[in-house]
Structure 1
Amino acid sequence: MSSARYTATRTSLRTAAIMVGFTAIFTAIMAFTFDTTRPAIEAARIEEQMRLIDEVLPRDRYDNLLLEDFVDVGPHPALAGNRVSRIWRARKAGQPVALIAESSAPDGYAGRIELIVAIQADGTVSGVRVTAHKETPGLGDYIDPRKDRNKTRPWISQFVAVDWNAIEASKWTVRKDGGVFDYHTGATISARAVTRAVGRTVGHVVEQRDALFAAPSASRL
């Protein structure tokens, strides 16, 4: 082997070794960073989940560890469509209080609208919140109470205390379509999508209520 070729080989091997070393160090740093930040990320995720749940079901109504008492359902067309939906179970002194279901409306004006819906054990809606959407700012985004200009009575609050058993299934839509729920003129699509999704969700949860409460925790139905 010539001196020039030998030198080039040594240089290539040294460069490769340096690259491998840098890669190993970088991977170790990334792994360390992930391990050290994971608890904080998980805590933030849990805090956000509880913040949303608190808005639809106050904590004084139940005494179990809500986030640990759940079942996964689906995919089911009445809930999150082609995705699995998580349903948390609220109990007090061991007795069923409410079910909080992840759901979604696939037919929003700008795409899918994500929801959580809380249904009390008697079939009455405790609350509804939009958790993610892309509806038009200033027009259809009133479905999110944080964006609704009516802070006294946000549009989404009309579902509170509505009894599934008191309204025909076909009436779970906006008044424009023959239903019983309000909407904002000029922004019907967003309200229609959310209202119908809430109706589908409540109907399914009420129908499956006993099975949902009886299923083993962390199981899938």
Structure 2
Amino acid sequence: MKHTPQAQAMRSALTLLAFAVVATAVLGTTWALTADQIAANEAAARAALLSQALPPGSFDNDLVADARPLPARDAAMLGRDTARVYPARLAGRLSGRVFEAAAPNGYGGRIELLVGVDAAGAVTGVRVVSHKETPGLGDYIDSAKSAWSAQFAGVADAPGMAWAVKKDGGRFDAPAGATISARAVAAAVGRVARYAREHPHLANP
């Protein structure tokens, strides 16, 4: 090919095309690898949070892998459009469950929760997944900030039981001046406990 301006332009165009093809391939591969790593990291973080809602040594299965979706109607009972239940098993027997739930009426808005319940229906742990409560005031609901949510452990639902703070006639403590957050979480945990009591065999193998 002669070194005419047209030929030079053609060579430049082909070179740029080759670089573009290689760059696209590299970016595509990098994205795929990164996406897989992100998914793996998210699953690991989810598993760690789920395990905190259950007693240590109470399960030996993969909670994330064994998750089951709840019917939309049931998810709505727990304050969500969609929700999953994570069955906990020990030696093949159901030892507990963790439910996704939400309190729509926190002081700062929606509060996303994970609530663990044992095979007998007692709450084993409550973990806040996300919230917008006021730092230093309403964020005590997060177990990373305080032990407030520990008071739900061991409590099971019973017909007519009020899942409410003491100020509203219930049994749960709430810091003075920040009862809205506590009220929302207590009600949400109660909905999970009641649902678990009414569906004792859900997620049973």
Matched, 1:28 2:19: no
Structure 1 position 89, deviation (Å): 0.5
Q: For 1:109-152, what per-residue CA distance to the aligned partner results, in whole angstroms no more than 9, with x for missing partners?
A: 1111010000011011111010111110011000002123xxxx
State the partner residue of 1:51: 48
1:78·1:197 contact (CA, 8 Å) conserved in 2?
Answer: no
Match of 2:150 in 1: 157
Q: 1:123 aligns with which of 117, 121, 124?
A: 121
The whole-number CA distance in structure 2 between the counterparts of 1:17 and 1:186 is 70
Which runs of 5 or more structure 1 residues have no equivalent in the other structure?
Answer: 1-6, 149-153, 215-221
Runs of 4+ in 1 over 6 A off after TM superposition: 13-23
Where is the helix percentage greater, Structure 1 or Structure 2?
1
Residue 39 of structure 1 deviates from its aligned partner by 3.5
Larger RCO (CA within 8 A; separation ≥ 6): 1
Corresponding position of 1:77: 76
Give the number of equivalent residue pairs: 198
TM-score calculated relative to the size of structure 2? 0.84
Q: 1-side partners of 2:131 and 2:20: how far apart?
A: 39
| Cross-structure match for 1:191 | 182
RMSD between superposed Cα atoms in Å:
2.6
Q: What's the CA shift for 1:72?
A: 0.4
Match of 1:204 among 190, 195, 199: 195
Which consecutive unaligned segments of at least 5 residues does structure 2 have?
A: none
Counterpart residue number, 1:87: 85
Q: Counterpart of 2:29 in 1: which secondary structure?
A: helix
Task: Note if contact 2:50-2:63 (Cα within 8 Å) is conserved in structure 1.
Answer: no
Within the candidate set 34, 37, 41, 2:34 is matched to: 37
Aligned partner of 1:132 in structure 2 is: 130
1:61 to 46, 58, 61: 58
Please report how far the alpha carbon of residue 37 of structure 1 lies from its aligned counterpart in structure 2 after TM superposition: 2.0
The residue type paired with residue 102 of structure 1 is: E
How far apart, CA to CA, are the structure 2 residues paired with 1:95 and 1:130? 27
Deviation of 1:64 (Å): 2.3
Letter paired with 1:179: G
8 Å Cα contact 2:85-2:100 kept in structure 1: yes
Letter in 1 for 2:157: W
Distance 1:23 1:134, change over 3 A: farther
Match of 2:160 in 1: 168
Instruction: Tell me the TM-score normalised to structure 1 length.
Output: 0.78
Q: Aligned residue for 1:3?
A: none
